[in-house]
Amino acid sequence: MSLKYDILKPEIGARVYLDRAGIGNPQVAQQLLELLETHTVLVFPGIDLSDGEQLALTDALGGRINIATRIAGLEREKTAEVYQVTLNEGAAIEKEYVLGTFFWHMDGLTVDVPPPKATVLSARHLAPKGGQTEFASTKAAYAALAEDEKAEIAGLRVLHTVTASLRELMPPGALDAARRTLRHEHPLVWTRANGTQSLVIGSTADLINGKSQAESRALLARLLDWTVQPAFTYRHNWSHGDCVVWDNTSALHRVLPYAVDSGRMMHRTTIAGLESVA
């Protein structure tokens, strides 16, 4: 049995025709994991998963993790297994956190667990304007660097902080204590056990070990510009019921701005990471 799929762009993105009845099938899961490794972003058009089905898909691909429970001080009801990513009034996730998704990032880099392997996002309510999600392959971007550029960044380590990721939204002092202290250092180039290599960058990247602030921010900005060039990116224009799974270890993502009153509602689950950045 083999899933049908179309390649969206040579470096990133595939549209996969998954029948929801196949979610629990181990062979299907195996093929999805292979497609995810190769194409980084998998789109399941209009699959219209229930929360239960989304959790089953999440578990089939490696098991769920709740990143929010790693953050001390968050209330229990804010750490539901299926996150509602929305700017709607009274939403459980903090508004600042959601506004932070407007900027290129990887999920879960500042908490003390291996970065999530993948993120699963389902469209429940679309914004009339904006709200497309963009993905950039940090794997393709690293592979395409010139050898001297790879040599220049080999062995470097980057401090990732929540304060850096919210830099565009608020002064660092305005951040609550639980978040202000969230930080984690990672190698700039992640070499996986299977040999895959990618850049570990994005809005949480704050400083490079042993470099001045100016030098490290300039290098991080240059690598980000390189990574988000059109050849390495895919923009998803959501339709109702679409589900997208992306390899969080090999891609950055961001959402195009949408209004607070847009009604946009996405349901998100997270697949646990197995490997620390090394």
Which one of 95, 211, 235, 268 is in contact with ligand OGA (CB under 6 A)?
A: 268
Is residue 11 involved in binding Mn ion (CB under 5 A)? no
The alpha-carbon radius of gyration of the chain (Å, integer) is 18
Q: Token pair of 3, please?
A: 């899933």
Beta carbon nearer to ligand OGA, 100 or 187: 100
Question: By C-beta, is 107 or 242 nearer to Mn ion?
Answer: 107
Binding of ligand OGA by 107 (CB under 6 A):
yes
Window 84 to 103, contacts with ligand OGA (CB under 6 A): 85, 101
> Which does residue 206 touch among Mn ion, ligand OGA, none (CB within 5 to 8 A, set by kind)?
none
Nearest to 9 by CA among 30, 40, 55, 37: 40
Query: Whole-number minimum distance, CB 186 to Mn ion, in Å?
Result: 16
Nearest approach in angstroms of CB 209 to Mn ion is 25
> Applying CB under 6 A, which of residues 82, 253, 271, 272 lies at the interface with ligand OGA?
253
Residue 54, interface with ligand OGA (CB under 6 A)? no
Question: Under the criterion CB under 6 A, does residue 216 sit at the interface with ligand OGA?
Answer: no
Dist CA 199 CA 211 (whole Å): 18
Q: Which is nearer to ligand OGA, 133 or 204 (CB)?
A: 133
> Pick from 11, 107, 242, 247: which binds Mn ion (CB under 5 A)?
107
Contact 91, 79 (CB under 8 A): no
Order the strands of the 14-17 sheet from edge to edge: 4-7, 14-17, 41-44, 243-247, 118-125, 265-271, 83-86
Answer yes or no whether residue 242 interacts with Mn ion by CB under 5 A. Answer: no
What mask of x and - would describe binding to Mn ion in positions 165 to 204, judged by CB under 5 A?
----------------------------------------
Write out the residues near Mn ion by the rule CB under 5 A.
Answer: 107
Q: Which residues bind ligand OGA (CB under 6 A)?
A: 85, 101, 107, 133, 253, 255, 266, 268
